[in-house]
Amino acid sequence: MQSSLNARAGLLSAALLAVFLIAWQVAVSGHGATAKMDPEYAALMGKTATQGTSAMPGPVQIGERLVTLLRDPFYDHGPNDKGIAIQLGWSLLRVLLGFGLAVIVAVPLGFFIGMSPLLRQALEPFIQILKPISPLAWMPLALYTIRDSSQSAIFVIFICSIWPLLINTAFGVGSVRREWLNVARTLEVTGWRMATRVVLPAAAPTIMTGMRISIGIAWLVIVAAEMLVGGTGIGYFVWNQWNNLSITDVIIAILLIGLVGMALDQLLGWIGRHLGYAE
C-alpha cells in the first residue's frame, strides 16, 4: 500500500513539474531577447536605460547554462570568478561549522534547562529576548569584533541555529514522562546513565526536529550573510551574477540552494531514522 502511494505521488509530482516547465517555457518564448532597464536603476548601476538586459530565460536556456556550469564546477579564475561547486562548498563549510558549534552548545545546555525548572525560568527571559533578533542584525557587531568576514558569517550561522535546537532540546527533555524517570530511579539508575539510557532516547525525536529546523534556517541565512560580506559562497555568487545582470545564473543558483537545503534536511532525517530515534 505504501509503495503504491509513493509511486502515485511521484507520478503526480512529475506531472506537476512538467506542466510548470511547459507553461514557463511558453510564457517566455514570446518575449524579445532583451528588455529595457528602469532609468533610475540604470543610473544607479552606471548604465543607460537603452542598454539591454537579458530577458527572463526559460527552462531550455537554464538547462543549457546549467550543463555549462557543471562541466567545470571547480574552476578558479580569481576572486570573482569561481566554479559553482567551489561557491557551494564554501557555503556548506560555513553552515556546518556554525551548526556544529550550535549543537555543541545547545544540546548540553538544553539538557540542563529541561532537567531544571529553576534554570528554565531563570533563562526564559534571555531566550525570549534574543530569539526574535534577526541573525543578520548581529553581522555588523560580528564584523567589528571578529574582523573577518568568513568567521563573522559562521558566527551568524551559530546564532541563528542555536535557538531552535536549544528550545527543542529543553522541551524534549522536559517532556519525558515522569513514570519512566520514576521507574529508572526505582532501579537505581541515576546521573549519566539516566541521561543516556532514559532521557536521551525519549527526547531524541524532538532534538532531531530541532536539528532539522536549525539546519534549514542556517542554510537560508548563509545566502543573505554572504551577500553582505562578499568573497565566496553561493550567496555572493547570486549577488555577483545579479550585478552582472545574469538572470539565468541567478535562477540556477536559486535552484541549487533549494536542492542542497532539501538534501541537508533529508540527511538529518535519515540519520535520525538510522539511529532509531526519529519519530
The CA-based diameter of the chain, rounded to the nearest angstrom, is 82
Q: Phi first, then psi: what are they for 219, rounded to 5°?
A: -70, -30
3-state helix/strand/coil string of 211-225: HHHHHHHHHHHHHHH
Per-residue pLDDT, 260: 94
Q: At which of 71, 92, 110 does a domain end?
A: 71
**What is the rounded distance in angstroms from the CA atom of residue 218 to the CA atom of residue 222?**
6
Same domain, 213 and 152: yes
If asked whether residues 97 and 37 sit together in one domain, one would say no
SS3 category, 65: helix
- Say what the pLDDT of residue 150 is: 87
Whether 121 and 201 share a structural domain: yes
Residue 39 lies in a domain: yes
In a domain, 78, yes or no: no
Q: Is residue 22 part of a domain?
A: yes
Could you give the number of structural domains in the chain? 2
Cell of 2: 505504501
Measured over the CA atoms of residue 39, residue 43, residue 49 and residue 54, the dihedral's sign is negative
Same domain for 209 and 168, yes or no, is yes
**Residue 140 falls inside a structural domain:** yes
11 and 103 in a common domain: no
- The last residue of one of the domains, among 19, 43, 71, is 71
127 and 240 share one domain: yes
In a domain, 200, yes or no: yes
Query: Please, are residues 102 and 210 in contact by the beta-carbon 8 Å criterion?
Result: no
pLDDT in the model for residue 5: 83
User: What's the confidence (pLDDT) of residue 82?
Assistant: 85
Among candidate residues 15, 36, 71, the one where a domain is terminated: 71
Residues 52 and 95 in one domain: no
CATH number for the domain harbouring residue 227: 1.10.3720.10
Q: Would you state the torsion angle of the CA atoms of residues 147, 164, 89, 264, taken in this order, to the nearest 10 degrees? A: 180
User: Residues of 239-278 as b/e, b for ≥16 C-beta within 10 angstroms?
Assistant: bbbeeeebbbbbbbbeebbeebbeebbeebbeebeeeebb
Quick check: is 76 in a domain?
A: no
Whether residues 105 and 217 fall in one domain: yes
Q: Are residues 248 and 159 in the same domain?
A: yes
Same domain flag for 59 and 95: no
Does 93 share its domain with 67? no
Q: What is the mean pLDDT of each run of 10 residues along the chain (279 residues)?
A: 81 92 87 49 47 70 91 83 90 95 94 88 90 90 89 93 93 80 71 74 86 93 88 89 89 94 90 61
C-alpha cell read off for 275: 539511529
Q: Three-state secondary structure along 155-191?
A: HHHHHHHHHHHHHHHHHHHHCCCHHHHHHHHHCCCCH
Distance CA(269)–CA(93), nearest Å, equals: 20
Task: State the Rg of the chain over Cα.
Answer: 24
* Structure confidence at residue 172 (pLDDT): 87
Same structural domain for residues 38 and 98?
A: no
Q: How far apart are CA 174 and CA 124, in angstroms?
A: 14
| Dihedral over alpha carbons 26, 32, 251, 58 (to 10 degrees) | 30
3-class DSSP assignment, residue 238: helix
Amino acid at the residue 260? V
Cβ count within 10 A of residue 186:
8
Range of the domain at 55: 2-71
The DSSP call for residue 244 is T
Asked if residue 147 belongs to a domain, the reply is yes
